[in-house]
Each structure stands twice: as structure tokens, then as C-alpha cells.
Structure 1
């Protein structure tokens, strides 16, 4: 049975270890300020996008150079009717060697077309994964959300 969870993947000319380390550096590609840590098993970290999005992630699976899984333990998505719609969903990064390249497969398990957040959240993930994370892995420079810049512009 095919899954409807949001998934995006890409190939890079980097080692699985380099890819794994880049993904774990959330500040480099998703958001430049986080509360907590995001690199070791059972680490917990929270992200805040102004007053629109708050989510707390727990690193529940970490297989070096192979897999990273975050469980969303708390969320407040203020643009939705069900502001905790992400609670209990998982974010998974599968890292696989493909000949002389490495494949990154991102899946937000539970982010499916039937939920209200699907369109906005899948569009945001598409941008962060295909552009910011890809760039961070390949060039060392991502385009994470800049918390201070957002605060100063308000």
C-alpha cells in the first residue's frame, strides 16, 4: 500500500556521514535559533517561527550515516483549526549510499493530504529540504529561517 505521507528526496555528491552530520545541524538549514539540542538520541529541541509555528521534537532514532527520526511531542500551529495537528507525527531522514552518491529521503509521517496543514506545511518542507538542506549539504550554506531578522522586520 502506497503511503500518502509527505516525502521528498534528492541525491548529493557527499558521504552518508557528511549528510548525517548536516541534517543534525538544524540551525544550519531549518531555523537559526532552537531551544535545546538536536544531535544525540533523546535530545529534544523546539523551534519557533514568530507566533505562527511552535514545535518540539525529540530525537527518537539515530543511526549514524543512515537514519534520523524526530517525534513531534508538542506543537502550536496558530494558522490551523487543530493547533496541535503535528503532535505525534514523525519526521524521518533516510540516508542511503547510491553508487557514488548519497540519497536523502525526507518523510513527514502523518503529514498527509487529509489534514489541514498539508498544503502549507508540505510547501514549506519542500523548500527547506530541496533548497536549504540541499544547499547546506552541498555548499555548507543553507537558508534557515532567521529569527532575529524576522523579529526586527516586525
Structure 2
């Protein structure tokens, strides 16, 4: 069966190392309150938007210039019935050279259409990864909240 997890990808005129570095500057593209380390294997950080979203991520894989994986160990989404829908999911950034460009493939493994938050969370990831992170990679400048 085909994986139905949320995914998006884009190409940039930056090196894999530059893309990797930008992904790990989480506070510069993921709008909200972030506490904890975000750039070392085993780091645990929380993300929150008061009254809407809380999640705790552990960096489970960090391969310079190639891959970043966060495991969501705790979650509370106040806008859905099953508030812990994200718990146990993985947020994955695969980075690979494609000709003279670099491809970033983002996957939130486990964020599937059966989740009540799928539409809202997919839209948010589109704005944050396809907007904020993409602009951070291309400009090097921290990005303001898209909302």
C-alpha cells in the first residue's frame, strides 16, 4: 500500500550542507514558541502555539547534508477530538543533490488523511516548509510567521 503520509518537496540552488543548516535553524522558520536544542542528535525540543498546538520532538537522526528526523513523543492539538494525533509520528527532511541543485523532501510520516487535523496540518506545513523554510534557505534570513 502506498504511504499516504503528508509530503512535499522542492529544489533550490543551494548546497546540501546549506539546506541541512537551514532545516536545523528551526526557530528561524517554524513559527511558534520553541524550547530546547534543535541541532544535535538526541536533542529534545518543544513547539507550541498557546491554546492551539503543543508537541515534543526528539532528534532521532541527523546526517549532515543528507537527513534530519524528529520523532514526536508528545502532542496536544486542541482543535481536534483526538488531541494526540501527532504522537508517535516522524517529521523527516531528506536532502539530496539533483544535478546542480539540491532537493529537500519533507515528510510528516504518520500525518495521514484519516487524521482529523490532516487538512489544517498539511496547510500549515505547506506554509512553513514550502514557504518559510524555502525562503530561509534561499535568502538566509529568518522568516516571520505566515499567519
Task: State whether TM-score is above 0.5.
Answer: yes
Q: Structure 1 stretches of 5 or more lacking a match?
A: none
How far apart are the structure 1 equivalents of 2:41 and 2:144? 23
2:8 partner SS = strand
Query: Partners of 2:136 and 2:46 in 1: how far apart?
Result: 20
- Answering whether residue 123 of structure 2 is matched by residue 123 of structure 1, we say yes
Matched, 1:26 2:26: yes
Question: Match of 1:80, SS?
Answer: coil
Cα distance in structure 2, aligned partners of 1:85 and 1:100: 38
- 2:96 maps to what in 1? 96
- 2:113 corresponds in structure 1 to 113
RMSD: 1.5
Task: Point out where structure 2 has 5 or more consecutive residues left out of the alignment.
Answer: none
1:31 shift after superposition: 2.6
Larger helix proportion of the pair: 1
Secondary structure class of the residue paired with 1:141 = coil
Runs of 4+ displaced beyond 2 Å: 141-146
Query: CA deviation digits over 1:86-123, x for unaligned, max 9?
Result: 00000000000001000000000000111111000000
Equivalent runs, 1:1-154 vs 2, <5 Å: 1-31=1-31, 33-145=33-145
In structure 2, distance between residues paired with 1:140 and 1:13 = 12
TM-score normalised by the chain length of structure 1: 0.91
Mapped contact 2:11–2:103 kept (Cα < 8 A) = yes
In the alignment, the residues of structure 1 paired with residue 144 and residue 58 of structure 2 have an alpha-carbon distance, to the nearest angstrom, of 20
Deviates more, 1:30-39 or 1:16-25: 30-39
Q: Distance in 2 between matches of 1:50 and 1:84?
A: 16
* Maintained 8 Å contact 2:31/2:128: no
Using the TM superposition, give the Cα deviation of residue 62 of structure 1 relative to its aligned residue in structure 2, in angstroms. 0.5
